C-alpha cells in the first residue's frame, strides 16, 4: 500500500507551532485522549468526567478542578492542546507566556518531532521533572 504524502503547502507549520501538520495529524489519530468523539467513562456513573489536577514540581496538589476550568500545560497530549489553543485562538493574551510539554512517559508514544519539541527535558523550564505527579495522584485516589 502506497503512503499518501501531503502536498508541501498542506504540511507547513502554523505560526508559533513548531511541528508540521502531518505529524500532528498522525499523533492526534494515535491517541484515545485526543479523540473527542470517544467517551472513556460513561457520564451516568460520575458527575464529572473531565477532572484535572495541577501539581507543583514536588507533586503536591495545587489545583483540583473540572476541565471546564482549564489549568495545566504539561499534559499527555500537550502537542494537541497547543495546536487547539492556537487554532481556536484560546487565551491569546497568555499564549506568549505558555510553554507546552508532554509528560516524560507519554512523550515516547508521540511522533519523533513531537518528542523533539515537547519533551520536558529538552527545554529549560521543567528541569528533570517527569510530569507524572498527577498520575501518582490518580493512583492514590
Name the strand (E) or helix (H) holding 28: helix 21-29
Are 27 and 80 in contact by the 8 Å Cβ rule? The answer is: yes
* Cβ atoms of 69 and 52 closer than 8 Å: no
Average pLDDT, the chain: 75
Q: Provide CB contacts within 8 A for 21, sequence distance 6+.
A: 6, 10, 11, 12, 13, 14
Pick the residue with more confidence: 4 or 126? 126
Percent of all residues in the chain with a pLDDT value above 70, rounded to a whole number: 67
- Please say if the pLDDT value at position 72 is more than 60: no
Given this model, what pLDDT does residue 39 score?
60
The whole-model pTM stands at 0.54
Q: What is the pLDDT of residue 43?
A: 59
Predicted confidence at residue 89, as pLDDT, reads 93
pLDDT class of 79 with cuts at 50, 70, 90: very high
Amino acid at each position: 500500500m502506497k503512503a499518501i504524502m501531503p502536498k508541501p503547502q498542506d504540511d507547513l507549520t502554523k505560526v508559533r507551532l513548531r511541528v508540521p501538520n502531518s505529524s500532528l495529524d498522525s499523533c492526534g489519530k494515535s491517541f484515545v485522549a485526543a479523540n473527542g468523539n470517544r467517551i472513556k467513562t460513561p457520564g451516568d456513573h460520575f458527575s464529572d468526567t473531565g477532572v484535572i489536577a495541577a501539581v507543583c514540581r514536588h507533586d503536591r496538589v495545587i489545583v483540583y478542578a473540572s476541565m471546564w476550568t482549564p489549568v495545566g500545560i504539561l499534559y499527555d497530549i500537550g502537542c494537541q492542546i497547543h495546536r487547539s489553543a492556537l487554532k481556536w485562538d484560546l487565551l491569546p493574551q497568555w499564549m506568549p507566556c505558555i510553554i507546552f510539554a508532554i509528560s516524560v512517559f507519554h512523550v515516547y508514544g508521540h511522533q519523533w518531532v513531537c518528542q523533539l519539541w515537547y519533551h520536558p527535558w529538552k527545554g529549560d523550564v521543567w528541569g528533570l521533572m517527569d510530569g507524572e505527579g498527577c498520575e501518582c495522584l490518580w493512583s492514590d485516589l
